[in-house]
Structures are given as structure tokens and as C-alpha cells.
Amino acid sequence: MTLSAMQSLQVHIASARGADRDLDAEIEKVLNGQSQNAPDYTASVDRCLDLLHAKLPNWHWHLGRDVVGMMPYANLSNGKKTVSAEGTTVPLVLLTTIVKALISQKRS
């Protein structure tokens, strides 16, 4: 899990608009070292939470919607470290925050 691979993954997640099996495979490869039979991360909140608990076990998470109730957002925190994102789908905002947190850990 190199920093440059995670940064590239972050860009790909940011440009996604919904479920994407190619992106699921990339996530699995970058974060877990394999890409065959990747979970459906981009379509499933449950798979994203599984990933979150596996990669960031001591982090707390919060999901919500913006003021008008349309756009989902996610916050992850671990002590004083906090990352957040908003986007088009709950899985994508979760994935964005997971990758942001992993990048933050890699840099520290």
C-alpha cells in the first residue's frame, strides 16, 4: 500500500458517480494486494464498513446528509485526527474518507 497508489485511488474514487466493478478491483488491489473477487465496495455500505473496520479499527465513523437531505457525508475520527467527505453516494463518501485516513496515517 504505497502513498502514490493510495493518492491515485483517491482521485479515481473522487471521479466515480456510482457502483463500478473496475474501481472495486482497484480498491481491493491497492488496499489488500489482490483484485480477484473484489467485494462490491462502491455499491455496498456494509462492504465499506467491513473495509473501515479492517483497515482503521480504532477510528469512529459518522454518516449523515446535508442540510437539505440530499448529499451524503461521512466523518472519521481517531483522537485529534479527523477526515470528512461528501459526495453522491454513501459508499463513495465512506471510501473517500477511508482512503483519506489511510493517506493521513501514511504521512505521519
pLDDT tens-place values along the chain, 108 residues long = 899 999 999 999 999 999 999 999 999 999 999 878 999 999 999 999 999 999 999 999 999 998 888 899 999 999 999 999 999 999 999 999 999 999 999 998
Tell me how many domains the chain contains. Answer: 1
Measured CA to CA, the distance from residue 28 to residue 51 in angstroms comes to 10
Q: How distant, in Å, are the alpha carbons of 2, 34, 60 from that of 91?
A: 23, 20, 16
Which domain covers residue 68, as residue numbers?
Answer: 3-107
pTM of the model: 0.94
Find, among 105, 70, 51, 29, the residue nearest to 61 by Cα.
51
CATH label of the domain that carries residue 73? 3.30.2120.10
